[in-house]
Amino acid sequence: MGEQQQVKFPQEVIDEYAALGVDLPALFSAGHLGTRMGVQILEASAERVVGTMPVEGNTQPYGLLHGGASAVLAETLGSVGSMLHGGVSKIAVGVDLNCTHHRGVRSGLVTGVATPVHRGRSTATYEIVITDEADKRVCTARLTCLLRDVRPGDGEQTAN
């Protein structure tokens, strides 16, 4: 599903996580599910997260992009933004995801852009707009993440 691209983070953010033993770009290469679906995170900050996903391999029986695939892309991008907003002392956990599917897509690449709606101390909400290659809106999603304190052992799976 294509060559893996490096996630773009501000260098100071990479350095902050590296001091804790966490390889941030590797952590947010989209995870196991995102990797299987071909999700690529191209740009990431608390203000804006951009990622792509191929339609091929992520379709429903009628040959259209599966709504669940759009949800995976949306939750991945919104979670990255929430995590970056929360900082190294917080973990972002999705608690609510709403997706409205506007049009079907049969081929190509879709692009999602997540921008914050609310960034608080205990929750973060992002709007994620997914478009096709013609820049037509395919899906609009909203994700709210709980920002909880890091607990011992939280990073054990991600630090390697």
> Which amino acids are annotated catalytic?
75
Q: Which residues contact 32 (CB under 8 A, 6 or more apart)?
A: none
Are the beta carbons of 50 and 43 closer than 8 angstroms?
Answer: yes
Q: How far is CA 81 from CA 27, 59, 134, in A?
A: 13, 26, 25
Nearest Cα residue to 145 out of 130, 125, 127: 125
Distance between CA atoms of 125 and 109, rounded to whole angstroms? 25
Whole-number Å distance between alpha carbons of 23 and 116: 24
CA 74, distance to chain mean position in Å, is 6
Q: What is the rounded CA–CA span in Å between residue 64 and residue 105?
A: 5
